[in-house]
Structure 1
Amino acid sequence: MQDTSKPGGGSSVAAIVMATILVAVSLYLLRGIVAPFLMAVFLLIVIDGPSRLIRRTIPGMPHYLSVSISVAVILGFFAAIIWVTFTNIELLFSDAETYARRLGEVASAVQSAFGVTIPASLERLTSDVNIPGIVSFVAGWLRSAVSATGFALIYLGFMLASRRSFSRKLSALTDEQGEQKETEHVFDAIRDAVASYIWIQTATGVMIGVLSWLALWALGVPQPIFWAFLIFIASYVPIVGGTVGVFAPALFSLAESGGVTTPLLVLASLQTIQIVIGYAVQPRMQSRSLNIDPIVVLLALALWSMLLGPVGAFLSTPLTVTAMVVMGEFKRTRWIAIMLSDDGQPAQLASEVEEDAPIGG
C-alpha cells in the first residue's frame, strides 16, 4: 500500500509550492478585503461557542435567542475594551510631557554613570514631545481600526443572516452521504480547533492579567487595572503580545517614577509571569489541544503578519490550524499537515469532534 503521508513526486511538490506562492500573493494583494472577512469568520466562531453552550445548558432555547445573547456578550466585551482604552489613553496623554521629561532625566543619568552616548533621536524624543502629532497619529490608527472593524461587522451580519442555510449548501456540494459526512467533519474540526484556541488564549490571558494586576498593584504602579487589561488583550497575539505586555508597563513605570528600582521590579515580575504561564503552561495546552508544533506558531506569526498585517498576527494560530486540518484531508498535502503537527498525527485534531450542530447550523 502506498504511504500517502509522504511527499509525492517532484511535480507534485512543485505544484504545491506554486499554489502556495499564488495564494500568498493573492492574500497580500487583497488583504484589505480578506483580513476583515477572516476576522468576521473568527468572530462567528467566537459567537457560536457561547451559543452552543447556552443551548446545552438550557435545553429547548430557540437558536436565534442563544445567538442573540452570545452576540450581546461579545459586543459588551468590545464596548468594555473601547471604554477602558479611551479612558486611560486620555489620562496618559494628559501627563505625556512630564513622562517625557523624566525619561530624559533617566537617559542623562545613564549617560553620566556609564558613559553611554544617547542617540540624538532619543534626545529629541524626550526633550520635545509633539502632543498634537501623537494625538493625530493615534487618531489615524484608531480610524483605521474602526474602519476595519466596521467591515468585519458588516461581513459578520451577513454571515449570521445566512448561517442557517450553510448546512444545506454543504449537502448540495456532494451527492454521496459519506462525502457529506466527511465535509461536515472537516468543518466541525476547524470550528472546534479555533474554539479550543480561543479558550486556551482566554484562560491563560486571564491568569496572566490577574497576576500582573496583583504585581503592579503591589509595586504601586498607577492604573494597574488598565495595564492588566492591556496585558490580557495583548496575550491573544502570540510571542509579540507577551513582549508588549512586559515592556509597556515597565517603560511607563520608568517614566512615571523617574527611578530604576520600581521599573526593574515591574520588568522582573511581569517577565516571570510570562515565562511561567506564557512559555510553560500555554504551549503545553496548545500542543495537547491544537496539536501544533510550537516552532510553527512562531513561524506562522511572522508569515501571517507579513500577509495580512495586525489581523494576520492576531489570527496566525487559528489560520495555521485551519490549514493543517484541511491539508490533512488530502493525500498529496497530508505530509505538510504532519510536519505542522506536534506529534506527527494531525488526524487526531478531528478525532473528537463534538456531537453538535455544525458551524452553519
Structure 2
Amino acid sequence: MNTSTISTPAKVLIYSTAAVLLTLGMKAISSILMPVFFSIFSYLIFAPLVRWLMRKRVPGKISVFLVILFFIFVFVGTAFLFASSLLQLSGRIPNYENQLTNILNSISIYLPEAGVSVESILRDIATFAFNISGDIISGALNAGSTIALIVITTTFLLLDAAGTQERVKKEAGDQPAHISRFTELSKTVINYMLLRTETNLLGGIGTAILLFIGGIDFAVLWGLLFFLFGYIPYLGFYLAAIPPMLLGLFKYGVIGALGVLVGITIINALVENVIFPSLAGKGLKLSPTIVFLSLFYWSFVLGAAGALIAVPLTIVVKIVLESSEETRLIAKLMESSGTRDQDE
C-alpha cells in the first residue's frame, strides 16, 4: 500500500487505532514488560560504570561481575531499609492517628460549622496521599520482587555491551542512518537517566540531612522517598513532602509542618530549577504537557510503578517517531515550544 495516497483523516484514524491497540496490548502483558523495562533502565544506569572499569584495564567479565554485585547491594540495601523503616512506621501509626485527631479537634473549634466534618475531609486527604505513595512504592517493590529476572537480564545486557561498539563500527558502513538513530536514542536516554539519578540523589541526601537536623522521625526513609519520587514529574515532590510534613505537624505543630515544607521546597527548587537544568542543558526537549500526560499514560499501562519511568519511556517514543517521515510531525509536536521556535 502506498501511504502517500491515503488522506490525512484516514492516517489519523489508522495511527489512533494502532496506538489504542498497542496500549491495550502493553497493558495486557504489563507484568512481563515491567521487569524488562526495569532491566533495560538498570543497564542504562550501570553500563557507563562497566565501560569506566574496562578503561581502567579491568577485564570485561570481571567488570560486569563487580557492577552486578554493586547493583544487588544497592537494591537489597534500599529494599531492606524501606522495609525496616516501614515496619517501624506502622508500629507508630496508632500514636500518629491519636496526635492527628487531637490536632484536628483543636482546630475544628475555630472553623465554621458545615454539613461535612472538616476532620473527615483532612483525614481523607491524608489517607489518599498515603495510599498513592504506598501504591507507587509497592509497585516498585513488586517489580523488584522479580529481582532474579532483572539481575539476569541486566547481566546479559552488560556482558553484551562490552562488544557492542566494535560490532556497531563494523556494520556502520552499510547502515549509517540506523546507527545514527540508535546512537541518538542511547545517548539521550542514558544521559537523562544518569542526570536524573544524580540530581535525585543530591536532593534525597539534602532532604534526609535537613529532616535529621530538624528531628523528624525516619529522616533517611523520607530522603529515599524524595530520591525515588524524583523520577515522577511534577507530582513526585508533593507526594514525597506530605509524610514528613505530617510528622513535623505532630512534633512541632503548624510551624513545624510549614518549616518542613519550606525546607523541602527550597531543596526541590535547587534540584529542579538549578542543578538539573545546568547539567541537562537542552537535552530534554519534551513539552511539559506531554511529560505530565505521560505520567498518567504509563501509570495506566504499567501500573503505579510505571510513573517512575514515564519520562524515559516517552523520550524513547519520541525518538522512534522521529525515525519516520510520516510520524516526524507528531514527534515535533511533543517538543517544548521554546525548542520548536529555536529550530525554526
Give the TM-score category using the shorter length.
0.7 to 0.9
Q: CA deviation at 1:189?
A: 2.3
SS in 2 for 1:330: coil
Does 2:91 align with 1:97?
Answer: no
Does 2:193 align with 1:194?
Answer: no
The aligned amino acid for 1:344 is: R
The aligned amino acid for 2:89 is: L
Tell me if the contact between 2:47 and 2:158 (Cα under 8 Å) persists in the aligned partners. Answer: no
Q: CA deviation at 1:179?
A: 5.1
Q: Which residue is equivalent to 2:233? A: 238
Does 2:67 align with 1:73?
Answer: no
Q: CA deviation at 1:294?
A: 2.7
The aligned amino acid for 1:244 is: L
Looking at structure 1, the residues matched to 21 and 281 of structure 2 have their Cα atoms a distance apart, in angstroms, of 30
The aligned amino acid for 1:79 is: V
Structure 1 pair 123–248 and aligned structure 2 pair: CA distance change class (3 A): closer
The aligned amino acid for 1:9 is: T
1:262 counterpart (250, 256, 259): 256
Looking at structure 2, the residues matched to 227 and 290 of structure 1 have their Cα atoms a distance apart, in angstroms, of 27
* Bigger shift: residues 330-339 or 195-204: 195-204
SS in 2 for 1:114: coil
Q: CA deviation at 1:320?
A: 0.7
Does 2:206 align with 1:229?
Answer: no
Q: CA deviation at 1:150?
A: 3.8
Tell me if the contact between 2:287 and 2:335 (Cα under 8 Å) persists in the aligned partners. Answer: yes
Structure 1 pair 169–228 and aligned structure 2 pair: CA distance change class (3 A): closer
1:252 counterpart (234, 241, 247): 247
Q: CA deviation at 1:14?
A: 2.9
Residue-pair matches, total: 324
Q: CA deviation at 1:314?
A: 0.9
Note the 1:162-201 alignment, pairs <5 A. 178=173, 180-201=175-196
TM-score (norm 1): 0.77
Note the 1:120-135 alignment, pairs <5 A. 121=120
**Residues 272-305 of structure 1: CA deviation (Å, up to 9, x unaligned):** 3223422554356556123322332112112111
Higher relative contact order (CA 8 A, sep 6+): 1
Structure 1 vs Structure 2: percent identity of aligned residues? 20
What is the RMSD computed on CA atoms of the aligned residues?
A: 3.6
SS in 2 for 1:332: coil
Tell me if the contact between 1:12 and 1:332 (Cα under 8 Å) persists in the aligned partners. Answer: no
Residue ranges of structure 2 left out of the alignment (5+ in a row)? none
Looking at structure 2, the residues matched to 65 and 236 of structure 1 have their Cα atoms a distance apart, in angstroms, of 31
Note the 1:1-361 alignment, pairs <5 A. 9-56=8-55, 58=56, 60-115=57-112, 118=117, 121=120, 146-151=141-146, 153-154=148-149, 156-158=151-153, 160-161=155-156, 178=173, 180-257=175-252, 259-279=253-273, 281-282=275-276, 285-286=279-280, 288-342=282-336, 343-344=339-340
Tell me if the contact between 2:50 and 2:158 (Cα under 8 Å) persists in the aligned partners. Answer: no
Tell me if the contact between 1:44 and 1:156 (Cα under 8 Å) persists in the aligned partners. Answer: no
Q: CA deviation at 1:105?
A: 0.3
